[in-house]
Chains A and B, each alone.
Chain A
Amino acid sequence: MIDVLYFAWVRERIGLPKEQIETNATTVAELVDELRQREERYALAFSDLRALRVAVDQELTEFDAPLAGAREVAFFPPMTGG
């Protein structure tokens, strides 16, 4: 099981901030493919990966990052702090 978190408009499109997912995905990209196939709202949220960022266990990373041993994956749009 892995915790998957969504922030900002990704959270709004998917309709929840967090869920636990049972997955065999070995990379973030594989997890995204699994999510896309679930429902339209996921397909919509993940339609353009260039508009998204990902963090694995609270570290920013790339979509080809491995998921082995990961406990938490977060998806969000580019940050706009400051």
Chain B
Amino acid sequence: MTVRVQSDEFDAGAELNAFTAEVAGAGAIVSFTGVVRDVDGGLTAMEIEHYPAMTESAIAKIVKEAQSRWNLADALVIHRYGRLETGAQIMMVATASRHRVDAFQAAEFLMDYLKSRAPFWKKELTKDGESWVEARDEDEDALGRW
């Protein structure tokens, strides 16, 4: 398991290649990359705050839960904080497994839990001002399917 919380940019392609090269015995690799998207043409950047003392351990706990539910050869989570411009990569998840179903499901599980159980908060900076992104009921409901 690799968990990295950083302000620096990362190269999702290079990270995925390195993850794939290092994992042993996997027949399936699934990856997801989250990107700062524009909001109706008005977003200038996203500010991501986190709780440094808690963030990595909270993510590691979520990854361990995924490892207990699915047969994973390895998992990678990278999440950024700080000011991110439109189009920047916010985070990525990669899972490796013997079979694709475990890799897909574990990746989705990780994404659902990272969204509402890892201590990150997003603020949208637009030309009209700034506002915190509110958690959506759908995000909480998504946890129910696991």
Contacts of A59 in B (CB 8 A): 54
**Would you call B19 an interface residue if the criterion is a C-beta within 8 Å of the partner chain's C-beta atoms?**
no
Query: How many interface residues does chain B have, given as a range?
Result: 20 to 34
In the bound assembly, the distance between CA atoms of A81 and B122 in angstroms comes to 7
**Would you call A16 an interface residue if the criterion is a C-beta within 8 Å of the partner chain's C-beta atoms?**
no
In the bound assembly, the distance between CA atoms of A77 and B133 in angstroms comes to 10
In the bound assembly, the distance between CA atoms of A72 and B54 in angstroms comes to 11
Total A residues in contact with B, Cβ cutoff 8 Å: 17
**Would you call B53 an interface residue if the criterion is a C-beta within 8 Å of the partner chain's C-beta atoms?**
yes
In the bound assembly, the distance between CA atoms of A78 and B137 in angstroms comes to 10
Q: Which residue of A78, A79, A82 has the most chain B CB atoms within 10 A of its CB atom?
A: A82
In the bound assembly, the distance between CA atoms of A58 and B51 in angstroms comes to 9
Can you list 21 A-B pairs with a CB-CB distance of less than 8 A? A7-B51, A7-B121, A8-B123, A8-B132, A55-B54, A58-B57, A76-B51, A77-B132, A77-B134, A77-B135, A79-B116, A80-B121, A80-B132, A80-B133, A80-B139, A81-B91, A81-B115, A81-B116, A81-B121, A82-B90, A82-B118
**B interface residues with partner A (beta carbon < 8 Å):** 34, 48-51, 53-54, 57-58, 79, 90-91, 111, 114-123, 132-135, 139-140
**A interface residues with partner B (beta carbon < 8 Å):** 5, 7-9, 55, 58-60, 72, 74, 76-82
